[in-house]
Structure 1
Amino acid sequence: MVQDAERTTDDTTSGGRDNPGPGRPDPGIARIREAAAGVWADPWWTLPNLLSVIRLAGVPLFLWLLLGPQADLLALLVLVVSGITDWLDGKLARWLNQYSRIGELLDPAADRLYIIATLVAFVLRDVVPWWVAAALVLRDLVLTVCLPVLRWHGYEPPDVHYLGKAATFCLMYAFPLLLLVQEPFPFADVARPIAYAFTCWGGALYLWAGILYLGQVVVAVRQARAKPV
């Protein structure tokens, strides 16, 4: 559920309907600045964050390998390395106690960028229909727009839902398999239906998780507006 990060004081009302007096800053803007200050105050140069930055740097390389030389096996290697670093940065954050807000933002951002880059390449190479990619990309765009709305009303972004994790898991398995079946190899006929099954399951779960996140945002905004001034 969306966590209420709103802070109230004796002389400041809450819920996004504040009416600041003359010379008093808008409380909504103050809350956004407060959240941004918290991100910048976090430790940046940590080993988990470095791995997340490496994952992000691999996105343009991955896209170039798919669209330029169409070196699918090398692109698959980049995707595998990304998956390993994704698992490793979470483990290191727990082992070294190096949690940070910027790390929490970088990790899902890398996942989303890999998904979007893969979908763009697959559409351009006629691997998946354009409307499938458009639906998944639109889902991410809508949720991205919701984040500043939540901040404005004093809420943190929603926690990652288990359906969202399952959807990302399915898509991260589907994409390598889809890359494999583009190359001639002995088990391509066996891998092809598995690849498209993971794509269908992952895509459906991805959209459903997006609807659940959007519902959480709507409930949070309504609760904020319903609070007395």
Structure 2
Amino acid sequence: MNLPNLITIGRLLLAPLLILVLTLWQADTARWWALGIFLLAALTDWLDGYLARRLNQITDLGKILDPLVDKILILAALLVLVQLGDVPAWSVFIILLREMFIASWRVNQTQVQGANIWGKLKTVGQILAVALLLAPLAPVWDIPILMIYGGAIALTVISGLIYIKESYSIPPIIPDTINNT
């Protein structure tokens, strides 16, 4: 077990703490603590990737574990936000469906792939949206936050479709080898 993977496991342990803070402590202070825990976890997501590349410790376990822990953390926060009435359950279902589908797809691949740029954008979008949803901000922020959350949902769907397309290597409908002579 290398340092980047240990950091990833540490991030996994922050998910239950986040749930406990949000469900057992009903105050704006709890939301700020939950936001701090969530942002710490997001920072460790960047840190473990940086260290894995810098120390040349990229492993197949890390390629599987890192995105899985990201999904657990995002979904843990979103499920509590559903319970609190801050986000609709259908929106979390869309995210959960995509994540489960892609995770099950990856299990059947012969070679472990890291996330592509769309997967990384999806994760950043989800982190930003969840962070804003956790923060006890004034009502004037409600519409912009929901728009950012909607964008994160859109990135979730788009990145999933792109991942499947790239995995299948779907050829273009019109061949580009047509002779113009």
TM-score interval (norm. to shorter):
0.7 to 0.9
Do 1:120 and 1:133's aligned partners in 2 also have CA atoms closer than 8 Å? yes
Q: 1:218 to 1:207 in 2, by over 3 A?
A: same
- Residue 59 of structure 1 is matched in structure 2 by 15
Residue 217 (structure 1) shift: 4.1
Instruction: Tell me the TM-score normalised to structure 2 length.
Output: 0.83
Q: Which residues in structure 2 correspond to 1:19-58 (within 5 Å)?
A: 44=1, 46-58=2-14
- Partner-residue secondary structure (3-state), 1:142: helix
- Partner-residue secondary structure (3-state), 1:126: coil
Q: Quick one: which amino acid aligns to residue 87 of structure 1?
A: W
Residue 161 (structure 1) shift: 2.5
Residue 78 (structure 1) shift: 0.6
Do 1:170 and 1:202's aligned partners in 2 also have CA atoms closer than 8 Å? yes
Instruction: Tell me the TM-score normalised to structure 1 length.
Output: 0.67
Q: Quick one: which amino acid aligns to residue 177 of structure 1?
A: L
- Residue 88 of structure 2 is matched in structure 1 by 129
Larger Rg: 1
Runs of 4+ in 1 over 6 A off after TM superposition: none
Q: Quick one: which amino acid aligns to residue 215 of structure 1?
A: K
- For 2:119 and 2:153, the matched residues in 1 are separated by 10
Give the number of equivalent residue pairs: 167
Identity of aligned residues (%): 31
Q: Quick one: which amino acid aligns to residue 166 of structure 1?
A: L
Q: Which structure dedicates a bigger proportion of its chain to helix?
A: 2
- For 1:93 and 1:149, the matched residues in 2 are separated by 24
Q: CA RMSD in A?
A: 1.9
Q: 1:205 aligns with which of 123, 147, 155?
A: 155
Q: Quick one: which amino acid aligns to residue 99 of structure 1?
A: I
Q: 1:148 to 1:103 in 2, by over 3 A?
A: closer
Corresponding position: 1:139 with 2:98: yes
Q: 1:83 aligns with which of 34, 42, 45?
A: 42
- For 1:94 and 1:216, the matched residues in 2 are separated by 24
Q: Quick one: which amino acid aligns to residue 77 of structure 2?
A: T
